[in-house]
Structure 1
Amino acid sequence: MTAVLFDFSGTLCRIESVDSWLRAVLTEADLTLPEAELAETAQALERSGALPGGSTPAHVPRELAELWATRDSSAERHRAAYTGLSRQVPLPDARLHDALYDRHRTPAAWAPYPDAVEVLRALREGGIGVGVVSNIGWDLRPVFREHALDPFVDSYTLSYEHGVQKPDPRLFAAACAALGTDPRDTLMVGDERRADGGAAALGCRVHFVDPLPIAERPDSLRPILGMVG
């Protein structure tokens, strides 16, 4: 392998909990909820799947089904899909739905997995090309800069910037082209078997990790170092 492509959410970084997400937005809006009501609201938001990078929706309303299926193809569709899910849950102020969406795009809402910097640095020092290829509706580069990951990334291939989303092989082809690497010499690392597994159609080798909470996954990325070079 001469290059490695990484997924973002659940692979290199993990989104905060729904409870933390909701509390941060309520605090910013100078609003409070009784603890029991806050816990109930957080659980409802989790079931709805309104937090990007969080739980899969327990149910996607019929009116959102088509939007949900193509949510990562544009910034507008991504926002509409997730705020549409959020709006299934009553909140004390209707403006909080957009505030919740805006919160998840901030570096403060994300944390790298414990071994992410170590692995990316080792790949860079070993002369291995590193790319990020993500199904997403917003620019994640500020997250990488804030968490000191950006110096070790050579290219970013984001679905909303290309109008195509994983598992479509065209997104992986664009990622390989950005690195100047042959897909057959490229390893794709991700946490979603259907989406990230699409790289195999180009001839990429694919390695999966579990999108566990930060504390439960201290070193799942380290084995990658033995797969390249």
Structure 2
Amino acid sequence: MTAVLFDFSGTLFRIESTEAWLRAALDGAGVELAAPELARTAEALQRAGALPGGAPPLRVPEELAEVWEIRDDSSALHRAAYTGLSRQVPLPRPDLHDALYERHMAPDAWSAYADAAEVLDALRGRGIAVGVVSNIGWDLRPVFRAHGLDRYVDTYVLSYEHGIRKPDPRLFRVACAALGVEPERTLMVGDDRRADGGAAALGCGVHFVDHLPVAERPAGLRPVLDLVT
């Protein structure tokens, strides 16, 4: 292998809990909720699937079904889909739905998996090119910079910047072209068997990791190093 492509959420990074997300947005807006109400609201938001990178919605409302399917095609669609889901849950002020959306893009809302830097550094030491390929509606580069991982990434290929989302092989082709590598000598690493598995149609190798909380997956990326030797 001459290159490794990584997914973002659930692969290299994990979003904070729904309760921590809600608490941070409320604090930023100067709004207080009693602990029981905070817990109930966080649970309702989780059921709604309102946290990008968090649990998927138990049910997508009919009026959001169309935008939900194409949410990663643009920043506007992504915001509309997720704020639409959060608006299924009553909040103390209507502007808090946008505040929640803004919070999830903050670098400190994300934690890198414990072995992410180690694995990326080892790949760099071996001369392996690294790309990030993500279905997303916003620029995740500041997250990588804030956590010190940007220096290991040679290219970012984000669905909203191309109007193409995984598993469409064209998105993986863009990444391979940006790195100047052949798909047959490229490994895609991700947590979504459907979306990330789309790289196989292009001829890439594919390796899956489990989308677990950071504390529960301390070494899930290390097998990648054995696959590129």
Percent pairwise identity: 70
Whole-Å separation in 1 of the counterparts to 2:142 and 2:218: 23
Alignment of 1:119-198 (within 5 A): 119-198=119-198
What's the counterpart of residue 106 of structure 1? 106
Equivalence for 1:30: 30
Residue 30 of structure 1: CA displacement? 1.0
Deviation at 1:186, TM superposition (A): 0.4
In the TM superposition, what is the alpha-carbon distance from 1:34 to its structure 2 partner?
A: 1.2
Counterpart residue type for residue 126 of structure 1: R
CA positional deviation for 1:72: 0.2
In the alignment, the residues of structure 2 paired with residue 217 and residue 161 of structure 1 have an alpha-carbon distance, to the nearest angstrom, of 30
Output one character per residue of 1:80-137: Cα deviation in whole Å (capped at 9) or x when no partner: 0000000000000000000000000010100100000000000001000000000000
Find the residue that maps to 2:175 and give its secondary structure.
helix
Q: Distance in 2 between matches of 1:164 and 1:61?
A: 24
- Please give the residue correspondences for 1:13-52 in structure 2 after superposition, counting only pairs within 5 Å: 13-52=13-52
Give the structure 2 partner of residue 65 of structure 1: 65
1:136-170 CA distance string (max 9 Å, x none): 00000000000010000000000000001000111
Separation of aligned partners in 1, 2:44 and 2:15: 17
2:223 is the alignment partner of 1:209: no
The one-character-per-residue Cα deviations of 1:161-190 (angstroms, maximum 9, x if unpaired) are 000100011101001111111000000000
Unmatched tracts of structure 2, length 5 or more: none
1:200 counterpart SS class: helix
Alignment of 1:3-18 (within 5 A): 3-18=3-18
Offset at residue 226 of structure 1 (A): 0.7
Tell me which amino acid in the other structure corresponds to 1:66. E
Letter in 1 for 2:21: W
User: Deviation of residue 191 (structure 1)?
Assistant: 0.2
Distance 2:94 2:206 in 1: 42
Gaps of 5+ in 1: none
Q: Aligned residue for 1:76? A: 76
Query: 2: CA distance between counterparts of 1:193 and 1:65?
Result: 22
Q: Please give the alpha-carbon distance, in whole angstroms, between the structure 2 residues aligned to 1:160 and 1:26.
A: 28
Mapped partners of 1:226, 1:122: distance in 2:
11
**1:77 to partner: Cα distance:** 0.2
Partners of 1:226 and 1:191 in 2: CA distance = 18
Q: CA deviation at 1:29?
A: 1.0
CA distance in 2, matches of 1:173, 1:139: 20
